[in-house]
Structure 1
């Protein structure tokens, strides 16, 4: 049964969700609702709850507030992702305070959220003085909720797969919506579905259904590798000369020879690759006029990144068990693996240089930014591999540390006003070709920058865009200037039409002021 506090917070959360997000964009409303979620957790948590002493819990509290604040500032998709991921992980750590892996916290929260609404509906009872007919109707009404949910899921699948079914079902739903509009003029089917979504979200926030599976699974792992000794008991019987222990040592020696061969041969091969890259890319690289830099960067970057990940996987494989304790060859093995890791760091620098040359010659795009941050994660991952080699850390420890690094990078991405920086850099007029269509579809906060650097459309020799089929097409400078003017007028009209404060962002307000608006 729900407590009185949970009932009040559940009702308040549904009303607040509807008020903040119905027909509104993301902005200050995300910050307000995130603060509500945090208040709910502190109200419902016991004063001496174990989760209050968890560093991961406080990390997610800070991450949730930071992501929500970035939503209020920029309203970007990556800020929304950072905020929602932080809140989900926060709920996961509240559910199971001893968790450490952020992925397991996410899965725990998602599992709890999927069950919470059913738990709430099961706890609701009809009034005690209700008649038998009311109680019977209440029972069958709850019984059919799950089939109705399954029916809705299959309806969506069939609507996507069959256009005729989609058209016919759309007509039926439209007629049902008209009937409902006459019955309840202020509520539509879409609004009812949105309120249902608010109920699902709020129940997951207010009601924590214990999920032990991921916490139990994580409890089997440790931070460091322990030596696995043989469990063969003699029971007073004399061991033969060639014992199981001797067999294990022989197996370790074979595994050591295989690892030494792999590290030795691949170090030589990687040394040749790095020598070529250093001589070709690191100093004085100048692409020829007919050199396909895009293909050079795309294919080379993907292959080299896969090579680095494969190398990290091989190190994890050889250093997973008792080879960490094979004293006759351990120093050689460690130094061979260390040299290989350092060479992979050099390889990662070469990937960064390829990306840099592409940006220098073709401008910035989302993928180029993604490659930069991915390389940061690669360098961090290589450092953790060194920790595994020299400190005998487990794969679980590496996953835990690198998951935290991924989360940190997500917060860094949320803090950036990337579209404004991309537009300012790409419209310098120094590039032979830019994707004008991409720039003209940027959010409203980038429009003042596009206007301030609009001469870049005229000075760039070749402007490209995508046609309705997704194929590359040419755009004239005059067409780009015209589309920019239309985009500014449409965005200003859209901004002025929004009277609510829920979707307010500081970047949009600042852009409106720079475009000559008055509020």
Structure 2
């Protein structure tokens, strides 16, 4: 019997350190600390603006530097589309600093990382999931690649080993701390006091560092590690490789004595099943076309020509309820078409022409229904002004029209559901970039302060970003001329306020914003729109 030799801590550490781990390249070792320092310098206690443009440029340059000259990503149109989208969204952040621009910039960067990871991907959603999966693993890959300095004693190596060993438990502890703090207010209060005392002690020890700053630096490390270190994720690329752009006919065959030959009885049964499916589809398209024709006839007669809301007519409820129901109806119609044209019904020659024309008429009628939804939204804007949801409905209808056009492609070109999802995902991304390019808050304020509106939601206008304040000041007289000025109380209920109170709230908002803007000495959170607004208010 072989003797059992106990392992010491040193031998355990040595055996663990002998496990192979991917080492960082020279360019990654340079970019990782540079990115962490840049992230902290650009974003610590700063708003979004030029800093987003600078850090996005760093990400794009880092990807181009790390990609080999003949890498597949360099030949991918999706990769270059996301490079342009990232820089465009970041540029709009430097101009407007809007939430739409921030969302477009961050989504474009994630998509860029996804297409760098798997250049052959086409689905936008799969690229996002691939990037998120890589980001979640990148920081662990970096920590595993870190080794203790050479020519050191056993004590240093042991401390290095256990220090790395406890990083994962500490991360899990932090996650549970956040969960318990959200669920238990008393625990949140006690833990807040402990962290505050720890922060005071750390502040006395290191005057320029705090707990919050350390956590922010850790966040910068997580972000930069995900940008610099690419962890290959093949699951979504492998799953996407099963799909095709065109629906293929599925031939049913059975094996007999090792030779595959057609079973004619089974084929006959399959033809009967296709005939039943055709009759069901024809019945659905026929009946719903008749029903939708009646609905469209009513809407065209009621909404399209000379619509005037009657006195006391609740236009808001009319728009909200009708819009949501009609949008759901359109999406349901698109889903039913996708279901019936998913497989061999595309090749059922006896009834395929009738089926295609019936589905085409249904799609066109849904386009008419979408126009009616747009008119409902238009009448609401015409009578009550613009809000964020009204803009969202307009862009959603653009996507609906595009989606209906792709459904026609599926009907007449036998496009697969994968093809439709790919095209519509790109359309959603294009709409996101279009939203990022707009100075929507200023346009909303200019429209809602027209003299023809007798009611003005002052609370809504004052809750928008500071770049709208010059527009509010320029239309100050409308606050005195309006018949009703409303705002929200602390419970979210709409209340009416006098014109003098609205003018006072505007003066306070202008003074606070000017003081806040003047107190900012750094350029990191600078946006052109804020600078322009400050100059206009100063003059």
TM-score range, shorter chain: over 0.9
Q: CA deviation at 1:475?
A: 2.2
CA distance in 2, matches of 1:162, 1:206: 38
CA distance in 2, matches of 1:303, 1:432: 30
Name the TM-score, length of structure 2 as normaliser.
0.94
Give the counterpart of 2:35 among 5, 13, 26: 13
1:41 partnered with 2:63: yes
1:169 partnered with 2:195: no
CA distance in 2, matches of 1:378, 1:314: 15
CA distance in 2, matches of 1:72, 1:334: 49
Look up the match of 2:532: 510
Paired residue secondary structure (1:434): strand
1:337-357: CA deviations, max 9, x gaps?
000000000000000000000
Specify whether residues 412 and 241 from structure 1 end up closer, same or farther in structure 2 by C-alpha distance, changes over 3 A only.
closer
Look up the match of 1:480: 502
Give the counterpart of 2:146 among 112, 121, 124: 124
Q: CA deviation at 1:431?
A: 2.1
Look up the match of 1:356: 378
Give the counterpart of 1:373 among 365, 383, 395: 395
1:251-288: CA deviations, max 9, x gaps?
00000000000000000000000000000000000001
CA distance in 1, matches of 2:262, 2:311: 74
Give the counterpart of 2:44 among 10, 18, 22: 22
Paired residue secondary structure (2:496): strand
Give the counterpart of 1:404 among 419, 422, 426: 426
Q: How does 1:331-350 map to 2 (within 5 A)?
A: 331-350=353-372
Paired residue secondary structure (1:515): helix
1:456 partnered with 2:478: yes
Give the counterpart of 1:2 among 12, 24, 27: 24
1:115 partnered with 2:137: yes
CA distance in 2, matches of 1:476, 1:231: 80
Native 8 Å contact 1:14 1:198 kept in 2: yes
Look up the match of 1:324: 346
Counting matched residue pairs gives: 517
Native 8 Å contact 1:429 1:457 kept in 2: no
Give the counterpart of 1:415 among 415, 424, 437: 437
Native 8 Å contact 2:252 2:262 kept in 1: no
CA distance in 2, matches of 1:52, 1:4: 21
Q: How does 1:130-141 map to 2 (within 5 A)?
A: 130-141=152-163
1:145 partnered with 2:167: yes
Paired residue secondary structure (1:463): strand
Look up the match of 1:388: 410
Look up the match of 1:82: 104
- Runs of 5+ in structure 2 lacking a partner? 1-22
Native 8 Å contact 1:362 1:432 kept in 2: no
Paired residue secondary structure (2:456): strand
Native 8 Å contact 2:338 2:417 kept in 1: yes
Give the counterpart of 2:119 among 68, 86, 97: 97
Specify whether residues 513 and 240 from structure 1 end up closer, same or farther in structure 2 by C-alpha distance, changes over 3 A only.
closer
1:469 partnered with 2:475: no
Specify whether residues 129 and 477 from structure 1 end up closer, same or farther in structure 2 by C-alpha distance, changes over 3 A only.
same
Specify whether residues 315 and 459 from structure 1 end up closer, same or farther in structure 2 by C-alpha distance, changes over 3 A only.
same
1:231 partnered with 2:258: no
Q: CA deviation at 1:233?
A: 3.4
Native 8 Å contact 2:253 2:263 kept in 1: no
Native 8 Å contact 2:253 2:260 kept in 1: no
Native 8 Å contact 1:438 1:465 kept in 2: yes
Q: CA deviation at 1:293?
A: 0.2
CA distance in 2, matches of 1:472, 1:160: 30
Native 8 Å contact 1:63 1:83 kept in 2: yes
Paired residue secondary structure (2:538): coil
Name the TM-score, length of structure 1 as normaliser.
0.98
Look up the match of 1:309: 331
CA distance in 2, matches of 1:11, 1:208: 16
Look up the match of 1:269: 291
Native 8 Å contact 1:104 1:214 kept in 2: yes
Native 8 Å contact 2:39 2:55 kept in 1: yes
Paired residue secondary structure (1:464): strand
Paired residue secondary structure (1:233): strand
Moved over 4 A (4+): 234-242
Between 148-157 and 231-240, report the one with greater CA deviation. Answer: 231-240
Native 8 Å contact 2:139 2:225 kept in 1: yes
Look up the match of 2:19: none
CA distance in 1, matches of 2:85, 2:413: 30
